[in-house]
């Protein structure tokens, strides 16, 4: 790499927007991304580093120059600093922490003190609040005093004696009010979260309410920090990545797809694939029980993938709909009875349509008896699958279990085995075997 190339890269980077540089860094291998950092002006380099997620930051740390690392780390917000520390090897994390100036180390320590996965771990302790007894004018002076160091100045928590949280006021409301108005007259009821609350739950509630900032309190309702909308977005994105992966029966990647090693990709998938394959041995055993029937009427084998596939699809449709309704809060676990009653009817109606079609086609192409078997099986399988698919997400939520246990592939596998039993019982009865 010549100094000429470096100079050219610097010119190119200067022409790009900050977001574009972030995108570029995320796609480059760490060593080359670190080179790009060296040609960026100091303040731009910091802005780009701060915009990266903690995983990328951790990857970069070893490739960056020690001086840059210490500098970046010193400039970060306490909550972002903690996210990065969580990604680093303990030795590196300790070295960075001990290099911090005392005040910053204390702030970081506050956030580090809360359990992993809690909202306290993701909040910023640097905030501007205003006493209940103040006026709008005093509040605005307070905002100006903290304009550079507070995590946000757009949502201002209102506190009583002992930092007791009693309300919240937006900067916009302050600017629109007469300077002498008491804060009590302009504050509104507050939506807050307790430090130990699950970060994902608190962040979803926060985004649901369309707020810009959510104060965080301890168990005595005392203000300890604030979470901003961008923090909440990152938390929800991480959770969505995990949920999406688990619905597909795999683990979420912690690095971009193209820079994840093939063996790492295999590891994210092999466990669930093995679990599912072992569960699928159930289908082999079910078929073994009915091997004699199958031997007598080989034509029954032809419909196995069609019937199990339709069952799996119906189950997944129901599971997808109910999972989404649970996520949106439209359905809670207390509604399980109502959900099942709906899914029985939906499944039966779907089964009626598909079953009639199956009866007609199989009846014409093969014979009437096969038509009856296929028609009845589709009716029964669709009803069973809709109920199973609708029930599983609610059961998972009730058991506070990992949704991965009831992923789409799992529902398919379960419906496959059950569907085969239904199929052969109906076939035996109708064909008189």
Q: Restricting to residues 322-361, which ones interact with a copy of itself according to CB under 8 A?
A: 322-325, 328-331, 335, 338-339, 342, 345-346, 349-350, 353-354, 357-358, 361
Cα–Cα distance for residue pair 110/107, rounded to 1 Å:
5
- Of 66-74, 109-117, 226-234, 393-401, the window that binds a copy of itself (rule: CB under 8 A) is 226-234
- Of 15-23, 35-43, 108-116, 391-399, the window that binds a copy of itself (rule: CB under 8 A) is 15-23
Which H or E run includes 166?
strand 164-170
| One residue of 6, 280, 395, 425 binding a copy of itself per CB under 8 A | 280
Q: Which is nearer to a copy of itself, 100 or 124 (CB)?
A: 124
Cα–Cα distance for residue pair 275/242, rounded to 1 Å:
18
- Of 3-11, 59-67, 129-137, 288-296, the window that binds a copy of itself (rule: CB under 8 A) is 288-296
Q: Which is nearer to a copy of itself, 9 or 306 (CB)?
A: 306
Cα–Cα distance for residue pair 211/172, rounded to 1 Å:
13
**Minimum distance between the CB of residue 30 and a copy of itself, rounded to whole angstroms?**
15
Cα–Cα distance for residue pair 309/415, rounded to 1 Å:
9
Cα–Cα distance for residue pair 250/273, rounded to 1 Å:
8
| β-pairing verdict for 213-217 and 193-194 | parallel
| Contact (CB, 8 A) for 311 and 418 | yes
User: Binding to a copy of itself by residue 17, rule CB under 8 A?
Assistant: yes
Cα–Cα distance for residue pair 202/195, rounded to 1 Å:
10
| One residue of 7, 27, 201, 222 binding a copy of itself per CB under 8 A | 27
| One residue of 24, 229, 395, 421 binding a copy of itself per CB under 8 A | 229
| One residue of 26, 68, 77, 104 binding a copy of itself per CB under 8 A | 26
**Minimum distance between the CB of residue 57 and a copy of itself, rounded to whole angstroms?**
15
Cα–Cα distance for residue pair 406/414, rounded to 1 Å:
10
Q: Kindly determine how many residues on this chain lie close enough to bind a copy of itself according to the rule CB under 8 A.
A: 109
**Minimum distance between the CB of residue 115 and a copy of itself, rounded to whole angstroms?**
25
Alpha helix segments (H runs only) across 209-302? 229-247, 262-289, 291-296, 299-302
| One residue of 18, 94, 185, 367 binding a copy of itself per CB under 8 A | 18
Cα–Cα distance for residue pair 432/426, rounded to 1 Å:
10
- Rounded to 10°, the helix 336-365/368-398 angle is 160
| One residue of 412, 418, 424, 426 binding a copy of itself per CB under 8 A | 412
* Residue 217, strand partner residues: 194, 223
| One residue of 37, 303, 359, 406 binding a copy of itself per CB under 8 A | 303
Q: Which is nearer to a copy of itself, 6 or 352 (CB)?
A: 352
| One residue of 189, 334, 337, 432 binding a copy of itself per CB under 8 A | 189
**Minimum distance between the CB of residue 236 and a copy of itself, rounded to whole angstroms?**
10
Q: Restricting to residues 84-123, which ones interact with a copy of itself according to CB under 8 A?
A: none
Binding mask 51-80 for a copy of itself (x = CB under 8 A): x-----------------------------
Quick one: which of 296, 298, 287, 290 has its CA closest to 366? Answer: 298
Q: Which two tokens stand for residue 206?
A: 């926060």
**Minimum distance between the CB of residue 84 and a copy of itself, rounded to whole angstroms?**
16
**Minimum distance between the CB of residue 65 and a copy of itself, rounded to whole angstroms?**
26
User: Binding to a copy of itself by residue 192, rule CB under 8 A?
Assistant: no
**Minimum distance between the CB of residue 97 and a copy of itself, rounded to whole angstroms?**
25
User: Binding to a copy of itself by residue 239, rule CB under 8 A?
Assistant: no
CA distances (Å), origin 125, targets 122, 167, 190, 196, 226: 10, 18, 18, 15, 7
User: Binding to a copy of itself by residue 247, rule CB under 8 A?
Assistant: yes
User: Binding to a copy of itself by residue 371, rule CB under 8 A?
Assistant: no
Return the exposure string of 246-285: e unless at least 16 CB atoms fall within 10 Å of the residue's CB, then b: bbebbbeebeeeeeeeeeeeeeeeeebeebeeebeebbee
- Of 23-31, 73-81, 82-90, 215-223, the window that binds a copy of itself (rule: CB under 8 A) is 23-31
- DSSP labels, 351-405: HHHHHHHHHHHHHHHS-HHHHHHHHHHHHHHHHHHHHHHHHHHHHHHHTT--GGG
- First-last CA distance in the chain: 78
Q: Which two tokens stand for residue 233?
A: 């977005």
Q: Restricting to residues 141-160, which ones interact with a copy of itself according to CB under 8 A?
A: 143-144, 147-148, 153-154
Q: Which is nearer to a copy of itself, 133 or 284 (CB)?
A: 284
């Amino acid at each position: 790499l010549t100094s000429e190339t470096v100079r050219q890269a610097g010119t190119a980077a200067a022409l790009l927007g900050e977001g574009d540089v972030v995108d570029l860094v995320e796609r480059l291998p760490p060593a080359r991304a670190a080179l790009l950092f060296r040609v960026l002006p100091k303040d731009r380099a910091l802005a780009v580093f701060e915009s990266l997620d903690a995983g990328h930051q951790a990857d970069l740390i070893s490739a960056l120059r020690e001086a840059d690392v210490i500098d970046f780390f010193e400039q970060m917000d306490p909550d972002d600093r903690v996210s990065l520390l969580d990604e680093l090897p303990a030795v590196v994390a300790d070295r960075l922490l001990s290099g911090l100036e005392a005040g910053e180390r204390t702030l970081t320590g506050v956030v580090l003190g809360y359990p992993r996965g809690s909202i306290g771990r993701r909040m910023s302790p640097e905030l501007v609040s205003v006493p209940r007894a103040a006026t709008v004018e005093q509040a605005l002076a307070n905002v100006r005093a903290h304009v550079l160091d507070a995590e946000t100045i757009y949502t201002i928590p209102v506190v009583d004696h002992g930092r007791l949280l009693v309300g919240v006021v937006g900067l916009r409301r302050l600017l629109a009010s007469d300077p002498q108005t008491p804060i009590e007259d302009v504050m509104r009821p507050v939506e807050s979260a307790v430090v130990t609350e699950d970060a994902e739950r608190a962040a979803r509630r926060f985004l649901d309410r369309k707020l810009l900032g959510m104060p965080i309190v301890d168990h005595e309702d005392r203000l300890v920090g604030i979470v901003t909308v961008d923090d909440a977005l990152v938390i929800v994105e991480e959770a969505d990545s995990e949920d999406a992966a688990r619905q597909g029966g795999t683990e979420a990647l912690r690095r971009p797809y193209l820079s994840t090693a093939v063996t790492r990709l295999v590891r994210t998938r092999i466990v669930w694939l093995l679990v599912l394959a072992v569960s699928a041995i159930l289908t082999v055993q079910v078929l073994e029980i009915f091997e004699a029937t199958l031997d007598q009427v080989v034509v029954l084998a032809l419909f196995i993938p069609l019937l199990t596939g339709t069952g799996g699809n119906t189950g997944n449709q129901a599971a997808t709909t109910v999972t989404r309704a649970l996520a949106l809060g439209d359905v809670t676990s207390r509604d399980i009875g109502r959900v099942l009653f709906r899914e029985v009817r939906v499944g039966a109606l779907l089964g009626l349509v598909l079953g009639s079609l199956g009866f007609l086609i199989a009846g014409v192409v093969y014979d009437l008896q096969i038509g009856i078997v296929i028609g009845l099986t589709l009716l029964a399988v669709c009803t069973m699958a809709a109920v199973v698919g609708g029930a599983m997400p609610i059961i998972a939520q009730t058991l506070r279990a990992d949704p991965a246990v009831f992923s789409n592939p799992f529902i398919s596998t379960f419906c496959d085995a059950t569907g085969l039993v239904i199929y052969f019982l109906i076939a035996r009865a109708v064909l008189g075997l």
